[in-house]
Amino acid sequence: MNTLNWGLIGGGKGSQIGDAHRIGSAMDNCFHLAAGALDIDPKKGKQYAKSLGVADDRAYGSWQDMLSGERDREDGIQLVTVATPNSTHYEISAAFLKAGIHVLCEKPLTMTVKEAVKLQELAAKHNCLLAVNFGYTGYPMVRQARAMVQGGKLGNIRLISAQFAHGHHSDAADMDNPRVRWRYDPKQAGVSSVLADCGIHALQMATYIADQTVSNLSAHFLSAVEGRELEDDAALQINLSGGTTCRLWTSAIALGHMHGLSFEVFGERGGLRWHQEQPNQLFYTPLNKPTQILERGGKGLHKDAVAASRIAIGHPEGMMPAFANIYKDLHAAMLGSEDAVARLPMSDAGVEMVKVVQAAAKSAKASGKWVTL
């Protein structure tokens, strides 16, 4: 294995998503954590990086120091992951792309369409890969669903219903919780809360499976908890480029829902159903035939699902191996594989989802008026 040097920005101790990146990137030996600027607090960031085995001189106090320290090293990082809060994604990703370093940026790619497009241009100009971590596309049975839909197994796709509805921001008493408050503050979160945070994962997955883009949409936002400026629930009706209708429900007030990410695909000749909380089973119902449960690791699956799967059938395989599949494909893409690029959520998806967020906020303000992307 040609293990490549990797750097992480954000993902400090106790962060929500840092561990999934560290474990995912290392799972197949594709990347080695060579450098890190892991925390907004320089001292904590350096300490944590060193505790993870990063060399003293590559445990940085800030991303700016990391950029100047790494860009001229012969063994400098080849890929950086940006796992900081949303409002910093643009500045950090732009700086590393300009230095010719490949970027995996957390979602949402940026806060504005202009910034997202600019990042895409920078990636092209500097001959870099720019991927966006819609990490749930790394699940084997999501890739199976994609292969079945794109292989024509379900015929023409009439409707996709996508959901990312959880209930973790239901308590009005959480208004003062710092981890919740910023998400509903337009200065820090932008024009959308739960759609930008969660809903775009489900919608991106729908477009990934259908191989279609968003044409236009109508959105309705609800701010259910009193005092919230941004939405904590949203429903979108969407027309996709290939003629499929998509309905998206995303929520942070759906009490009783845990993670709540799922999709259902309804074609002329069959239907598919997948829920991220039972990721190893894909329910397939051919027209006029009984429902089949396709098991991860089982026989007869598409090669993309087989390649994305690691352990024997029946053993739970979840989110970190799904992230590992993103890193495995990034590694292959960095070594020139076009197939890997086709499997990855690249900057196109990142730009599109930033456009969706902006269009939905505009539509919701106009009581659901249709907005073209």
Q: Which residues bind ligand NAD (CB under 6 A)?
A: 9-12, 15-17, 37, 39-40, 63, 83-86, 88, 106-107, 133, 135
Closer residue to ligand NAD, CB minimum distance, 48 or 284: 48
Type of residue found at 30: C
Q: What is the DSSP string of 118-141?
A: HHHHHHHHTT--EEE--GGGGSHH
CB of 321 to ligand NAD, least distance (A): 14
Return d(Cα 11, Cα 83) in angstroms, integer.
6
CB of 189 to ligand NAD, least distance (A): 10
CB of 250 to ligand NAD, least distance (A): 14
CB of 343 to ligand NAD, least distance (A): 16
Closer residue to ligand NAD, CB minimum distance, 46 or 228: 46
Q: What is the DSSP string of 33-99?
A: EEEEE--SSHHHHHHHHHHTT--GGGB-SSHHHHHHHHTT-TT--SEEEEES-GGGHHHHHHHHHHT
CB of 37 to ligand NAD, least distance (A): 5
Closer residue to ligand NAD, CB minimum distance, 46 or 302: 46
Using a 10 angstrom Cβ sphere, with 0-12 exposed, 13-18 middle and 19 or more buried, the burial of residue 14 is: exposed
* H or E element, residue 282: strand 281-286
Bridge-based pairing state of the strands 261-267 and 157-165: antiparallel
* CA 325 to centroid of chain Cα atoms: 13
CB of 326 to ligand NAD, least distance (A): 9
Residue carrying the six token digits 């309905």: 247
Closer residue to ligand NAD, CB minimum distance, 136 or 221: 136
Residue carrying the six token digits 């995912």: 24
Return d(Cα 345, Cα 136) in angstroms, integer.
10
Pair of tokens at residue 59:
């445990």
Closer residue to ligand NAD, CB minimum distance, 88 or 337: 88
Residue nearest to ligand NAD (CB): 12
Closer residue to ligand NAD, CB minimum distance, 44 or 158: 44
| β-strand partners of 7 | 35, 80
Coil, helix or strand for 266? strand
Cα-flanking dihedrals φ and ψ of residue 332, to 5°?
-65, -40
Closer residue to ligand NAD, CB minimum distance, 208 or 284: 208
CB of 254 to ligand NAD, least distance (A): 18
Maximum pairwise Cα distance, the chain: 64
C-alpha neighbours within 13 Å on the C-beta side of residue 274? 27
CB of 271 to ligand NAD, least distance (A): 26
Closer residue to ligand NAD, CB minimum distance, 41 or 268: 41
